[in-house]
């Protein structure tokens, strides 16, 4: 294991305290800091130190893929790190978005690469982007469609006549979801502000108070965006620290507020439908969306050893473990597949494998090669370990 230096992305929705405090820098930061990236995605690869200068992971892996990645990972995923580890710090809501599956990503990337007249790209790489986020503070998110009949009751309660076709579609259950979402996202531009205003002016029962509060918050930022109403069709989830949300391909979602460790397949393909000043492509989003009810997006941790938990997910691009060491548990040993990245969120721990050891304090990270063997963690602290998942 050796020190790894991540990259911070300064999107407008980011916090000015979370990442600065994690890395023991002055608080508040000069501007919003949204994501800390740890990985080898070409968009912002992390770096190692080589001869006193930074060396990015993409170049390091290209020089010696067998040693860094291992034959199994190269066979399954090619000469690239298949996962990306992040710390997310949303102070304001992210866009309504979904990610493509593997086939859609390959086809979309190929089509856009050969289009000479394209001005905005949806597909920046040919890979899918399933993701899981583990809350490290109370975290709120919109995750997947809830039961359409509950959504119909809510929209009906607003008493806005223009919404009658949407309510009728939702009364049809899952089969009506495509029509309801399409109608809202393609609402005539000149009528959007009036529609949102009519919804906010309505008086509804106490049972809908949470949804009204959400709509008011989103409309305060995007007063003419029908995404405010689409958001009301999704599960509104509040996570306690340690709980996770799993977002498979095609599920509409938006993270709202909190701090979390996110692990995902190494892709940056995002299809946006609203609640953002960034590029929105409703047509492509509707094409990749899975119109299904995501009944329970929350994943609870599963203990796999003293002080060690994981969150099972149905993909093999990544696996995530948390090691929490204190006075009762002072060491842990993990057999991990392929390359691995360690991130210390609190305390001070030593991470070691067959290639060496590194002392990590709060906010610091390390990476190990595939040929490093098992990882041993000692000390007192809170450590997240990302690795490649088991073949499926």
Q: 241 near 233, Cβ under 8 Å?
A: no
Residue 274's CB: how many other CB atoms inside 10 A?
Answer: 23
Reduce the secondary structure of 222-291 to three states and give it as a string: CCCCCHHHHHHHEEEEEECCCCEEEECCCCCEEEEECCEEEEEECCCCCEEEECCCCCCCHHHHHHHCCC
Active site residue 272: yes
- Hey, what are 259's tokens? 């701090």
Cα–Cα distance list, 140 to 10, 132, 234, 259, 260 (Å): 20, 14, 12, 9, 10
Instruction: Please provide residue 359's backbone torsions phi and psi, each rounded to the nearest 5 degrees.
Output: -90, 125
The CA distance from 175 to 172, in Å, is: 6
Q: Residues 272, 324, 340, 369: which is the catalytic one? A: 272
Reduce the secondary structure of 25-70 to three states and give it as a string: CCCCCCCCECEEEEECCCCCCCEEEECCEEEEHHHHHHHCHHHHHC
Q: Which residue has the tokens 């089969």?
A: 175
- Hey, what are 351's tokens? 């991470």
Q: Which residues are catalytic?
A: 272
């Amino acid at each position: 294991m050796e020190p790894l230096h991540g990259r911070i992305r300064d999107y407008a929705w980011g916090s000015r305290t979370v990442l600065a405090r994690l890395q023991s820098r002055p608080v508040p930061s000069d501007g919003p800091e949204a994501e800390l990236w740890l990985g080898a995605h070409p968009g912002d690869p992390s770096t190692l130190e080589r001869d006193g200068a930074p060396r990015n992971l993409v170049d390091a892996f290209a020089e010696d893929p067998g040693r860094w990645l291992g034959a199994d990972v190269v066979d399954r995923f090619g000469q690239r790190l298949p996962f990306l580890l992040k710390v997310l710090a949303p102070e304001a809501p992210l866009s309504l978005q979904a990610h493509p599956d593997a086939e859609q990503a390959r086809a979309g990337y190929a089509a856009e690469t050969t289009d000479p007249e394209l001005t905005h790209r949806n597909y920046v790489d040919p890979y899918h982007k399933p993701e899981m986020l583990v809350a490290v503070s109370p975290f709120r998110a919109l995750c997947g469609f809830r039961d359409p009949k509950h959504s119909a009751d809510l929209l009906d309660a607003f008493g806005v006549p223009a919404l009658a076709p949407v309510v009728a579609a939702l009364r049809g259950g899952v089969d009506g979801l495509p029509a309801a979402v399409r109608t809202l996202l393609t609402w005539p531009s000149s009528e959007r502000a009036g529609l949102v205003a009519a919804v906010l002016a309505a008086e509804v029962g106490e049972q809908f108070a949470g949804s009204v509060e959400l709509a008011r918050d989103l409309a305060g930022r995007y007063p003419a965006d029908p995404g405010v109403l689409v958001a009301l069709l999704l599960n509104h989830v509040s996570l306690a620290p340690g709980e996770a949300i799993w977002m498979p391909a095609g599920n509409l979602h938006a993270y709202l507020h909190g701090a979390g460790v996110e692990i995902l397949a190494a892709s940056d393909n995002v299809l946006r439908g609203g609640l953002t000043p960034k590029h929105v492509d409703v047509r492509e989003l509707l094409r990749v969306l899975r119109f299904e009810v995501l009944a329970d997006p929350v994943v609870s941790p599963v203990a796999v050893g003293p002080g060690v938990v994981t969150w099972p997910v149905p993909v093999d691009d990544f696996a995530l473990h948390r090691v929490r060491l204190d006075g009762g548990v002072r060491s842990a040993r993990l057999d991990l597949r392929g390359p691995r990245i360690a991130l210390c969120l609190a305390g001070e721990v030593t991470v070691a494998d067959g290639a060496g050891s590194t002392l990590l304090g709060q906010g610091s990270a390390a990476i190990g090669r595939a040929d490093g063997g098992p990882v041993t963690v000692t000390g007192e602290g809170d450590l997240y370990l990302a690795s490649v998942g088991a073949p499926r």
